[in-house]
Amino acid sequence: MNFQTLINPLSKDNPVIVQVLGICSALAVTAKLQPAVVMTISVVAVLALANVIISCLRKTIPTSIRIIVQLVVVAALVVIVDQILKAFTYDVSKQLSVFIGLIITNCIIMGRLEAFALNNRPWPAFLDGVGNGLGYGIILIIVAFFRELFGSGTLWGYQVIPQWWYDAGYQNNGMMILPPMALITVACIIWVHRARNKDLQEQ
């Protein structure tokens, strides 16, 4: 069961392409690969730790204020992550701008706290947080890979398309770095994923 809790969000129950959650940040932070990877690490850390904390406190949290408690826990973790990013990766922190702060209201995080952490022990809750964070991050990284490669000709800021291609007339596709292309790329991933998973086609 613990193995499935960790693995299912990576594909079969992916929060982005199956549950269609967290699309907003996929539009916002995937023009470059580096911010997408940093956002992935941040979400995994916040979601895993928040799940564990809420799971440990689940029997002491009054039902009437559970959402407030969840928001306080997530907000505290996001502030810590934001300060760490500013201390060690300031340039990336500037690129992510307000989107790190918006992790607080990420529907994936609040959804997992409400649906899983409040009803399970800390270890399964931790695995659920890691699995859903990675499932979310995989999609961000795939989208960012194609958007940066075709939109800028780079990966992680390094030129990967050879100069002679440009000399021969190749041009970067400027549309790839526009937000609508993130949505189109996610739609293509959903299409491929559902084509390969017949049981999802009726959902």
Q: Residue 95 has what pLDDT?
A: 80
- Torsion region of 156: left, alpha or beta (phi above 0 gives left; psi -120 to 50 gives alpha): left
Q: Residue 132 has what pLDDT?
A: 95
Q: Residue 24 has what pLDDT?
A: 78
Q: Residue 150 has what pLDDT?
A: 94
Instruction: Count other Cβ atoms within 10 Å, centred on residue 65.
Output: 10
Q: Residue 157 has what pLDDT?
A: 85
Q: Residue 50 has what pLDDT?
A: 97
Find tokens 């800021």 and name the residue: 157
**Contact between residue 137 and residue 46 where contact means Cβ atoms under 8 Å apart:** no
Q: Residue 96 has what pLDDT?
A: 83
Q: How far apart are CA 166 and CA 142, in angstroms?
A: 24
φ, ψ of residue 158 in degrees (nearest 5): -100, 135
Q: Residue 202 has what pLDDT?
A: 59
Q: Identify the segments of the chain with pLDDT beneath 70.
A: 1, 201-203
Q: Residue 191 has what pLDDT?
A: 92
Q: Residue 201 has what pLDDT?
A: 63
- Dmax (CA) of the chain: 67
